[in-house]
Chains A and B, each alone.
Chain A
Amino acid sequence: MHAVEMKGIVKRFADLVASDHVDFNLEQGEIHALLGENGAGKTTLMRILYGLYHADEGQVFINGKPAVISSPRDAIRQGIGMVTQHFTLVPTLTVAENMVLGETGSVMINLPDVEEKVAAASERFGIPVKPQALIRHLSVGERQRVEILKALYHDARVLILDEPTAVLVPQEVDVLFKALLRLQQEGLSVIFISHHLNEVMDICGRITVLRDGHSVGTVQKADTNQKQLAKMMVGRESFGVKRQDQRQASVSSCLLSVQNVCAVDKKGLPALKDVSLEVHAGEILGLAGVSGNGQAELSAVLCGTQKTTRGKVQANGINLTNAEPASVCAAGVGRIPEDRHANMVGELSVAENLVLDQLGNFVKNGILEQDKIQKNAKTLIKEFQIKAAPGDRVRTLSGGNMQKVMLARTLSQNPAVVIASQPTRGLDVGATDYVRSKLLEQREAGAAVLLLSEDLEEILALSDRIAVIYAGKIMGVLPASEATPEKLGLMMAGSTD
């Protein structure tokens, strides 16, 4: 008998089939991974099980009995708990108050009593939390513990974790895994949503892989390996986009030049100190560095959203020092900003977002040329493999698809210079590969690409030359052939030898 069995689950969102006749089962006391890329339908399936979505077709069985779960309340009654990616805690309430939120009963809440019970549960399950603490004072890892304890406090026998490690630092991941293994021994069944192969192989017994809303299959950990899982997940065996050849970039013309640029951060402290960089046509210059060493400010300066205090920026032969974003755009600088949510309008459609920074080309006498906008959207959706319709609101897209919209908007204008900040952050393997290949395509086409990334692997895979930034200073620029992770690591830590 299965703890949970889902049969032929179908869920449609407008034109998109997010879950297409998916079968899934969970055995008593196992940790079962639900593996798949962003947008594969993992979260959708689990939100159906937890009553946050309603399936259009299909059946759910709990402990062999058919169950109707139309709200989280039903799910909790059936012994199902879910820790969603965005935590469902009320930040202004305490841990204990959050625990009893869904309960009904007496008019008054005996808080000291609840706090005692929460503390007892915390002890019993080995999940340390402070019952009196306000949620907003807790770290992300602590909040996650509260979520897990909340589910257990409500007698969950099945725990759904939606990408629980995405928000954790490695040490916290270890703590989480240890807790999960302990709970498993006490008979808890866990559904572990992830797109990280190594984690899945680490902790799960069985693995169900989803792709494009379909179930690709369920395998035992012992019968599989990361390579096979990757193949099931993305539909091909090898992945990893890499720069093929070495360029003699210095002979080509310099398209982006940054000279002695200084800028301050939000607190008014110096964030960039005499930064000088040159990016040539047909090369990718990688800017490596630990987060918060001036990358955000440099990106903002180059995109025209922040003023410099000193120095000069020139792109494509045009002086862009302290230029407005519109002039930066007009000068042929394509921007792929760090925060894609802040650079698109979620409530507007894909088609509208695709023309947002070049409205001049799609307006006649002050009136939008809808036909042209729609045509442009259809072309780009096809070209950039965006899984969305032109009329879909950008807000509803997955991270990968949103980034593709961003790429399509920027790259379709054939920029001479591309500024890419953390272009693959938060994306799954398939989308990451796609974005990287697009950046390499730009390089082939002769653009100058500046890649700001905290992912050293990404920098090493793509860059012709690598600059390292530390405390707002450029520590040095190395050709890719001379750069090793060790060397870069030392420079990133501020060592000058």
Chain B
Amino acid sequence: MDITLFLIGLVAATLRVATPLIFGTLGELFSERSGVLNLGIEGTMFLGAFVGFAVAATTGSLWIGLLGAIIAGMLSGLLMSLLSVRLGVNQHVAGLGITLLATGLSLYSFRLIFGESKIPPSIEPFPMLNILPESNPLAPITNQYLLTYIGIATIAVVWWVISKTRFGLQIRAVGENPEAADAAGLNVYAIRTRALAIGGALMAVGGAFLTLAQLGSFTFGIVAGRGWVCIALIIFANWQAVSVLWGALIFGGVQALQLRLQTLGFKLPYELFLSLPYVVTIIALTLAGRNASAPSALLKAYRRE
């Protein structure tokens, strides 16, 4: 029975940890399939976490907070588009610049709005759903945040958009061969811009999940490298929407596991446990990444000669 409880707790935590990764990685998927590596993801998630929190705290509505995060994420994606698509700035430089900007801007605004109090301000976060009664042993697994279910549903939606719709076809075309897309009469800039805006919005939702659902407060280390993990997951998922789920679950699973292992009282430095998810990510990447094939036009700004 103990082991069952342990496993149920593990699965429940895994889904929680995986949620922001799913949103972030799907956001990155939109960007990268269109040919733009968006290293602004870490900052955009941070921005989403902050804006979501700040708007929710001021308006008192979590949903308006989420909407605010989405708009902020889209603006971040549009800025990335302005820099890397329109102006042709190196994608690494533009992305890292956006991460620095978004992070700094969020911290600065946070201090402006909330001041520097000893007790961090907090809001009443989204509640967990009540799908099964508490008494049911499987309740911890099913009773997740609504955003977790939305995240999993989004995977299917993104798969459908990318593989079945005209917009998805256009994204794939500009990400694989922008010259061909241009010659076919597509507006490469416009398509990439739209992909980046949608991607930014998804990344911001991933960040907002942390403040609006999981924690109910905003701290400086809230994103803690999740954006970079998403960059690794997208490679692990070989740029396929459905595989994003497996990547996020593996990372989330190891993360949830190491938290539990820490409490079991092994006589090992806790830093070792903390590093476990990242070690597993590296191993998984080395194994899966060998056959990965990135969109051909990734990192290349498109310019007509």
Chain A 187-228: CB-based contact to B (< 8 A → 1; otherwise 0): 000000000000000000000000000000000000000000
**How distant is B302 from chain A, measured CB to nearest CB, in Å?**
13
Query: Which residues on the B side are within 8 Å of A53 (C-beta)?
Result: 304-305
A: interface residue count bin = 20 to 34
Q: A91-B176, A102-B181, A109-B164 are in contact. List 16 more A-B contacts (CB 8 A).
A: A52-B182, A53-B304, A71-B185, A84-B183, A86-B179, A87-B180, A88-B180, A91-B177, A93-B176, A98-B184, A100-B166, A101-B169, A101-B181, A101-B186, A104-B166, A108-B165
A359 sits at the interface (CB 8 A): no
B114 sits at the interface (CB 8 A): no
A52–B186 contact, CB under 8 A? no
Residue in B164, B166, B172, B186 whose beta carbon sits within 8 Å of that of A93 in the complex = B172
Tally of B interface residues using CB under 8 Å: 21
Q: How many A-B Cβ pairs are below 8 Å?
A: 75
25 interchain pairs, CB-CB under 8 A: A52-B182, A52-B305, A72-B183, A73-B185, A88-B177, A88-B179, A88-B180, A88-B184, A89-B180, A90-B172, A90-B176, A91-B296, A92-B172, A92-B176, A93-B169, A93-B172, A101-B173, A101-B180, A102-B186, A105-B166, A107-B165, A107-B167, A108-B166, A109-B165, A150-B184
**How distant is A148 from chain B, measured CB to nearest CB, in Å?**
14
B170 sits at the interface (CB 8 A): yes
The A interface, classified by DSSP as helix, strand, loop or mixed, is loop
> Footprint of A on B, CB under 8 Å?
164-167, 169-170, 172-173, 176-177, 179-186, 296, 304-305
A71-B185, A88-B180, A88-B183 as given contacts; A108 in contact with B164, CB under 8 Å = yes
**How distant is A101 from chain B, measured CB to nearest CB, in Å?**
4
Max chain A C-beta neighbours (<10 A), residue from B165, B166, B185, B304: B185
Chain A 310-346: CB-based contact to B (< 8 A → 1; otherwise 0): 0000000000000000000000000000000000000
Query: Which residues on the A side are within 8 Å of B167 (C-beta)?
Result: 107
Residue in A52, A100, A108 whose beta carbon sits within 8 Å of that of B183 in the complex = A52
Closest B residue, CB atoms, query A92: B176
Max chain A C-beta neighbours (<10 A), residue from B169, B176, B183, B184: B183
**How distant is B253 from chain A, measured CB to nearest CB, in Å?**
31
Instruction: Tell me which residues from 58 to 93 in chain A have a Cβ below 8 Å from any Cβ of chain B.
Output: 71-73, 76, 82, 84, 86-93
**How distant is B127 from chain A, measured CB to nearest CB, in Å?**
35
A97 sits at the interface (CB 8 A): yes
Report Cα–Cα, A76/B186, bound state, in Å: 11
* Top 9 A-B pairs, shortest CB-CB distance: A73-B185, A102-B184, A102-B185, A88-B180, A88-B183, A101-B184, A90-B177, A90-B176, A90-B173
Query: Which residues on the A side are within 8 Å of B166 (C-beta)?
Result: 100, 103-109
Closest A residue, CB atoms, query B295: A92
> Footprint of B on A, CB under 8 Å?
50, 52-53, 71-73, 76, 82, 84, 86-93, 97-98, 100-109, 150
Closest B residue, CB atoms, query A13: B305
Query: Which residues on the B side are within 8 Å of A88 (C-beta)?
Result: 177, 179-180, 182-184
Report Cα–Cα, A53/B303, bound state, in Å: 11
Closest A residue, CB atoms, query B179: A88
**How distant is A393 from chain B, measured CB to nearest CB, in Å?**
12
Report Cα–Cα, A90/B173, bound state, in Å: 6
Query: Which residues on the A side are within 8 Å of B183 (C-beta)?
Result: 50, 52, 72, 82, 84, 88
Report Cα–Cα, A180/B136, bound state, in Å: 73
Report Cα–Cα, A108/B296, bound state, in Å: 24
